[in-house]
Amino acid sequence: MADYENFQNFNNYQINLEDNIEMRKAITKLGNMIEKKQLEIDNLSQLYQDSKIIHEKNRKECQELSHKLIQAHSEKCNIEKKFEAEIQKIKNVDFNPQKI
């Protein structure tokens, strides 16, 4: 009977050992999956940070260009007014050759 009990204990030990080995494999596999996911998260975080920097740069550049556009439009309007005023001056000048 002791031999049977020893065999059962050994058999239970073997089963537990095999289960332990399988669990270790599963834990290792899960650890690798978690590490891979963490790398993906880190990469996405870096991409997000880079895109925020690019967005901020583009926003500032857009503001500067918008300001330049407003200035150019204002200058254009001023030049057009001056041009119209000069045309009016020219129209008001009498080019009668007899007066000269």
pLDDT one-digit tens code per residue, 50-72: 999 999 999 999 999 999 999 99
- pLDDT of res. 6: 65
- pLDDT of res. 84: 96
End-to-end CA distance of the chain: 145
Q: Which of 84, 67, 100 is nearest to 59 (CA)?
A: 67
Annotate 26-47 with DSSP letters as a single string: HHHHHHHHHHHHHHHHHHHHHH
pLDDT one-digit tens code per residue, 86-99: 999 988 876 665 65
